[in-house]
Amino acid sequence: MKKKRKAATGLLVAFTMMFMLAACGSGAGEKTHGGGGKAGGAGGVAAASEWAEQNGLNKTETVDELYAKAKQEGKVVVYSQSSRIKDVKASFEAKYPGIKVEAFNMSTNDIVEKVIREQGAGIYNADVIFVKDASGAVSTELTTKKLVHSYMPADLTAKMVEPYKSKSEGLVPYFSLRAIFYNTDVYKTPPVTNWWDLTMPEWKGKVLMNDPIDSADMMDLFLAMAQHADEMKEAYKAKFGKDIVLNGTENAAYEFFKRFLANDPVLLKSSDEVVEAVGSAAQGKPPIGIGASSKLREVIEKKLSIAATYDVLPRISVVGPSYLYVADKAPNVNAAKLMIRWMAGEADGKSDGFKPFNVMGSWSTRTDNGRTDQPGIDQLKVWDYDSDYFYANFVKFREFWLRMQ
The DSSP line for 205-236 is: T-EEEE-TTT-HHHHHHHHHHHHTHHHHHHHH
74 has a pLDDT exceeding 50: yes
Beta-bridge mates of residue 322: 174
Residues 89 and 26 in one domain: yes
135 has a pLDDT exceeding 80: yes
82 has a pLDDT exceeding 70: yes
Residues 312 and 329 in one domain: no
Does residue 139 belong to any structural domain of this protein?
A: yes
The beta-strand segments (E) located in 241-280 are 266-268
Does residue 356 belong to any structural domain of this protein?
A: yes
Long-range contacts for 283-286 (Cβ within 8 Å, ≥24 apart)?
Answer: 283/183, 283/185, 283/186, 284/186, 285/186, 285/206, 286/182, 286/183, 286/185, 286/186
Rounded average pLDDT over 318-344 = 98
Please state the pTM of the whole predicted model. Answer: 0.88
Instruction: Name the pLDDT band for 301 (thresholds 50, 70, 90).
Output: confident
63 has a pLDDT exceeding 80: yes
Residues 339 and 362 in one domain: yes
Radius of gyration of the chain (CA): 22
Does residue 379 belong to any structural domain of this protein?
A: no
Domain that holds residue 268: 178-318+397-404
39 has a pLDDT exceeding 80: no
Residues 324 and 309 in one domain: no
Q: How far apart are the C-alpha atoms of 225 and 243, rounded to whole Å?
A: 18
Percentage of residues in the chain with pLDDT exceeding 70? 89
30 has a pLDDT exceeding 60: no
Residues 233 and 117 in one domain: no
343 Cβ partners below 8 Å, 6+ apart?
88, 128, 130, 173, 324, 351, 353, 354, 357
Instruction: Name the pLDDT band for 26 (thresholds 50, 70, 90).
Output: very low
How many distinct structural domains can be found in the chain? 2
What's the confidence (pLDDT) of residue 11?
47
Does residue 389 belong to any structural domain of this protein?
A: no
Residues 118 and 56 in one domain: yes
Which one has a higher pLDDT value, 297 or 240?
240
The identity of residue 311, as a single letter, is D
Does residue 384 belong to any structural domain of this protein?
A: no
Does residue 309 belong to any structural domain of this protein?
A: yes
The CATH number of whichever domain residue 55 belongs to comes to: 3.40.190.10
What's the confidence (pLDDT) of residue 244?
98
323 has a pLDDT exceeding 70: yes
What's the confidence (pLDDT) of residue 28?
36
The beta-strand segments (E) located in 128-170 are 128-131, 148-149
27 has a pLDDT exceeding 60: no
Q: How far apart are the C-alpha atoms of 110 and 5, rounded to whole Å?
A: 19
Which one has a higher pLDDT value, 108 or 358?
358
Rounded average pLDDT over 60-76 = 97
Does residue 392 belong to any structural domain of this protein?
A: no
356 has a pLDDT exceeding 90: yes
Does residue 272 belong to any structural domain of this protein?
A: yes
- The 10s digit of each residue's pLDDT in 213-268 is 989 899 999 999 999 999 999 999 999 999 999 999 999 999 999 999 999 999 99
Residue 136 and residue 391 in contact, taking contact as beta carbons nearer than 8 Å: yes
Query: Counting beta carbons within 10 angstroms of the beta carbon of residue 379, is it exposed (0 to 12), middle (13 to 18) or buried (19 or more)?
Result: exposed
Residues 170 and 186 in one domain: no
The identity of residue 264, as a single letter, is D
The identity of residue 114, as a single letter, is K
Mean pLDDT of the chain: 90
